Structure 1
Amino acid sequence: MTKFRSRLLFAIISLIIIVFVCLGLVLGLLVNGFILHGVQNDYPIEKINGEIWSSLIVCLGISLAVILSLVIRITSIYTKPIEDATIAANELAKGNYKARTYENHAYETGLLGQSINILARNIEDMSKSYEMQHDRLYTLIENMGSGLLFIDGKGYISIFNRTINEVFKTDRETLNGQLYYEAFEQKEIVTLVEEIFMTERNVRRQIRLSIAREVKDFEVYGAPILGANVEWKGIVLVFHDISDLKRLEQMRKDFVANVSHELRTPITSIKGFAETLLDGAMRDEVFLKDFLTIILNESNRLQMLILDLLELSKLENKGFVLTLSKVNIKELLDNSILMLSRKATEKDIKIELSAVDEELVVDGDMDRLKQVFINIINNSLSYSTKGDKVSIEIKDMDNVVLIDIADTGIGIEEKELPRIFERFYRVDKDRSRNSGGTGLGLAIVKHIIEAHEGTVKVKSKVGVGTTFSIYLKKNLQKRSS
């Protein structure tokens, strides 16, 4: 820029000198002409001097005007565009990518402005693209379900997402810029990071961590980050919470184990008594009748278990559909009580149904709701003794109907209550088997009530009794579970 200005100044000065030289020559010719004309016409010397000075002033004015116009012209053509381009370049350097300069395509300096504007537009497009990519990457990292953690080559935490804060119950100030072994108290994480630093290899591992008095399972993927020249950049860790998968896996194992155990018991009894009969016991009519009765009972129990398993599988199927109709609650409960009246009479247990509106109806699947009430009332009878009572009360609560089924039986310990709706969970395993239960009844009840958009709750006290509370909506919008 300085060289250009020097050359431009040199050109202007040269132009001025040329103009003055030309002006001198013209003035010389004029002066000679005036003098020669004055001598020939006998003009006074004073008149000749006045004409010379007048001509000199006029020529000087014309030359100054010419020089000034040339300077302004040169400045507008060359200097001003360069100054504008310099200003635009400075704005670009400051980060203002919207800066532009004037383009004059009639002169060579216009190419400079055009080039700067093209450069500015390219930089602006690149900046917008970078910001867009940055926003996308930030959104992706922040909202991914797995925790992402980046540790630089010196061991400082530089990048992490929101999931990391949620999982480890921390905030950004706690992790940002901290050394990894100071930020995490879990030794498993520190050991994993150090292993990646030492071996420079990818690691995939399942670890169990204790976080805020809660144990969680994670699948952790760790990888070193190396530059183009094998320059150590750091490591990245991805924490995927698999606690729910582990819990489901354990539930599956427990379910298979429970099913195997429940099936093994009646099958073992049937096989054992059948072998005993074949070994000669069938000749004794007393033994024959008793053993065949046991085989029949165990077969019925096995059939009940299989049917309950099939029923539970059907209820858990996403394609399960309720057959909804207007169900009269009192009529439904009367039928359920009637079906269990023989068992209640045999155990000398009284079933009482409180007064209820004869016209109280809800939207529901009649057969499924009857299955619910039979299961719960039968459960109350099974865990009650002679002289106990089962009370059923119905309450109309605007858009909801509440059915309380309470017994005065043996009751359930408070620590057992959260698990009684689990499949095959038994409070008293020996007594449950003796009562003929499969351990699936309450699990089926829970699924049917939830399919009706309702809830079922239980309260109990050992030695006092148990109360099941069923909440059913009067009107259902959904037609399937």
Structure 2
Amino acid sequence: MLKQLYWRLTGIVILTVLAAVLIAGMILFFGVTAFYTSQFQEDMHSVAESDLPQSIQRILTSQQEDTVTASQAEAAVNAFAGKLGLDENRSCFILSARDASVITPADMRPASMTVTPNLSAAMRAAKGDSVSLFGDYLDYALFIRNGSTEADGYILYIRDNKTEFHQLIRQMLFCLLWAMLAALLLSAAAGLLVTRHMASPLRQLTLRAERFASGDFEPALEKVPAGEMGELVRAFNHMGTVMNKSLQQINAEKHKIEVILEHINNGIIAFDTDQNMIHINPAAQRMFEIKDPSQLRFDRFFRSIGAGVCMAEFLYLERSKTEERDLLVGNNHIRASFLPFKIDNDKTAGIVCVFEDVTEQFNLEAARQKFVAEVSHELKTPLTTIRTYTETLLNGYLDDKKTAVSLLNTVQTETDKMTALVQNLLILSRFDMQRMDIRKSLFSIDDMLRRLENMFRLEAEKKGLELTYNRTTEIPAIYADQDQIERAVKNIISNSIKYCAKGDKIQIFAGSLYNNVYIKVEDSGKGIPKADLDHVFERFYRVDKARSRDKGGTGLGLSIAKEIIESHGGTIQIESEFGRFTRVTINLPMAKEN
């Protein structure tokens, strides 16, 4: 761009100088022409006012027109040759006014001159002294009476063929060409110097503008010329400072927004009105497993996830309020909010889509509803039994002692079931609210398991089961709440006894591995179907609901065991193969005493 400016400015200077030289040449040409013409006219007027016309008149009218007379007339003309400026380029003739035939010089007789406008005027007894600046010749014709009639008069005719003038013009043109060449060289040099001087600030401004385009607004231009160019440089410096500050503020705000969007849990995707994605945060990419965000298009994306929205609704139906949709993406429940954003002229510029993963809330609500239903059902059955048996006693069976005792035993059994259910619910509630009072102390897992083996052996033998405990390695004492750990292991052993048939074996193993103490309770009972393994730790979940209720199970034992073990920083896992075995493994960290 600057190179083009250099050549343009230099060209302007050169053309200006050449135009000035040409104008000067034209002025000189017209001046020389006018001078030459006016000088010819002055010479002719001085001749007209001299004695030459009277001398010629006397000579030609006093005698007959013969050779002697013509020679005298020619001699009279030659006497005025200096004043007439006669030479090889300017000639003087005496002509007959009748037919313009030559009288003198005698060597041209009897030829006639070509009639020109001035000669024609003289032949009419008028003065022929008009001139043309651009004619091929200059002439002057003066009518001289012969004393009788005008038709017999004479004409003093002077003709200049402009040869000297043409030579002068050629010399002028030659000088003018040299002047133009010199002017061309000088103007080119001057143009380059002037252009370089003028373009230096422009070069700096151009470089600064290029840095502006690349986002670099520093440093400011140090060389500030005088005049209007200096004002422009100062304006650029001020503009760069303002833009730099503005850009820093914008970058700070942009970085702040990006950090917020990157660390926010909700997914956010913004689309323009052409359905192109203009922003997406990492949460949205993870939520929808988007690998190439640049390929996202509004209608296509939301059609693929069944959102039931399209861009036209927001552009043409002028929806300015937030639209919400509940989506099911895989196993996740997502709430989508669509917020149109506008530009200054109140026209929709795009849509911001906010996605909130409400799977946990959905599952919690479903679990709450299920929990309420399960508790209601668990309480309804014993309450119905108690009410029925109570009504039966009140209706006449109080006197029948045997029947009354049987009914009251049933009422007591159902009451115990409700008491156990309520106690288990209270325990889970304390864990949920993190209000469980955990009293840790050092105790021996080995001693606890041997005590539980003795506790459950009689119950197992009544059902024809074989219950054994084996210590596989040395077991260090652990720091935990002994009562809670014992409750968890009791629930697991109790479940094994409940769901094993006669002849099955229940084995308890314990030992230490790395930094953990493990407890395994394995039985050879019926086992658990694979489809139920992921749900056995859920509250009120039973593999065989009818059989569990008959055996007095509430479906909370494993849930309580899981809460207890995890509250101590441990893990509990269950493995089973339907029809062969079930194995529950507890891992507890060997924590140091606080």
Residue identity matched to 2:383? I
Q: State whether residues 218 and 243 of structure 1, in contact with CA within 8 Å, keep that contact through their aligned partners in structure 2.
A: yes
1:470 alignment partner, SS class: strand
Q: 1:283 to 1:88 in 2, by over 3 A?
A: farther
Q: Which amino acid aligns with 1:367?
A: D
1:179-199 CA distances to partner (integer Å, 9 max, x unpaired)? 323344426335354433443
CA distance in 1, matches of 2:577, 2:303: 42
Report the CA distance shift for 1:300/1:446 in structure 2 as closer, same or farther (over 3 A).
Answer: same
Q: Name the amino acid aligned to 2:306.
A: E
Q: How far apart, CA to CA, are the structure 2 residues paired with 1:123 and 1:187?
A: 43
Q: Which amino acid aligns with 1:312?
A: L
C-alpha distance in structure 1 between counterparts of 2:300 and 2:336, whole Å: 19
1:188 partner SS: coil
Indicate the SS of the match to 2:218. Answer: coil
1:406 Cα deviation after fit: 1.1
2:526 to 387, 392, 410: 410
Q: Which residue does 1:191 correspond to in 2?
A: 309
Aligned mates of 1:158, 1:138 — CA distance in 2: 13
* Equivalent position of 2:117 in the other structure: none
Question: Alpha carbons of 1:191 and 1:183: their partners in 2 closer, same or farther (altered >3 Å)?
Answer: closer
Partner of 1:261: 377
Task: Name the TM-score, length of structure 2 as normaliser.
Answer: 0.62
In the TM superposition, what is the alpha-carbon distance from 1:144 to its structure 2 partner?
Answer: 2.6
Distance 1:84 1:140 in 2: 47
* Residue matched to 2:299: 181
- Checking the alignment, whether the CA contact within 8 Å between 1:103 and 1:114 is kept in structure 2 is no
State the partner residue of 2:146: none
Deviation of the 1:253 alpha carbon = 0.9
Paired AA for residue 221 in structure 1: S
1:370 is aligned to 2:480: no
Instruction: State the match for 1:344 in structure 2.
Output: 460
State the match for 1:275 in structure 2: 391
Matched, 1:91 2:245: no
Q: Distance in 2 between matches of 1:145 and 1:176?
A: 21
Shift of residue 246, structure 1, vs aligned partner: 0.8
1:130 equivalent among 250, 254, 259: 250
Q: Name the SS of the counterpart of 2:331 in structure 1.
A: strand
Deviations 1:292-336 (A, max 9, x none): 011000001100000000111122333445322222111101222
Within 2, Cα distance between the matches of 1:383 and 1:178? 54
Does 2:424 match 1:308?
Answer: yes
Q: How does 1:455-466 map to 2 (within 5 A)?
A: 455-466=571-582
Paired residue secondary structure (1:412):
coil
Superposed CA offset, 1:189-228 (max 9, x none):
3535443344322233242234xxx232221111223333
Q: Could you tell me which of 159, 162, 175 is aligned with 2:279? A: 159
Q: How far is 1:373 from its partner? A: 1.4
Mean Cα deviation higher: 285-294 or 123-132: 123-132
Contact 2:469 2:507 in 1 (8 A): yes
Q: Distance in 2 between matches of 1:130 and 1:355?
A: 68
Question: Could you say which residue in structure 2 is the equivalent of 1:289?
Answer: 405
Deviations 1:412-437 (A, max 9, x none): 11111111111100011111111112
Matched, 1:148 2:245: no
In structure 1, runs of 5+ residues without a counterpart are 10-74
What residue in structure 1 maps to residue 550 of structure 2?
434
Shift of 1:439: 1.0
Question: How far 1:442 moved relative to its partner?
Answer: 0.4
Q: 2:322 aligns with which of 203, 207, 227?
A: 203
Deviation at 1:345, TM superposition (A): 3.1
Mapped partners of 1:192, 1:297: distance in 2: 62
Taking the TM superposition and a 5 Å limit, the aligned residue runs for 1:328-339 are 328-339=444-455
Tell me how far 1:248 sits from its aligned partner.
1.2
Query: Once superposed, which parts of structure 1, at least 4 consecutive aligned residues long, lie more than 4 Å away?
Result: 82-85, 103-116, 355-359
Identity value in percent: 28
Match of 2:567 in 1: 451
**Could you report, residue by residue, the CA deviation over 1:226-274 in whole angstroms, capped at 9, with x for unpaired residues?**
3332333222221211112111111111111111111111111111111
Q: Which has the higher contact order (CA 8 A, sep 6+)?
A: 1
Further displaced range: 200-209 or 278-287: 200-209
Residue in structure 2 matched with residue 25 of structure 1 by the alignment:
none
Structure 1 pair 237–323 and aligned structure 2 pair: CA distance change class (3 A): same
Greater shift after overlay, 456-465 or 248-257? 456-465
Residues 104 and 223 of structure 1, relative CA distance in 2, 3 Å threshold = closer
Correspondence list, 1:469-480, <5 A: 469-476=585-592
User: What is the TM-score of this pair, normalised by structure 1?
Assistant: 0.75
Indicate conservation of the 8 Å contact 1:196/1:223, yes or no. Answer: no
Q: CA deviation at 1:120?
A: 2.4
Equivalent position of 1:169 in the other structure: 289
The amino acid of 1:176's aligned partner reads S
Distance in 2 (CA, whole Å) between partners of 1:422 and 1:397 is 28
Contact kept, 8 Å, 1:405 with 1:467, in 2: the verdict is yes
Q: Distance in 1 between matches of 2:479 and 2:360?
A: 34
CA contact (8 A) 2:475 2:511 kept: no
After superposition, the C-alpha distances for 1:341-387 in whole angstroms (9 at most, x for unaligned) are 33223223221112456763222211111111111111111111223
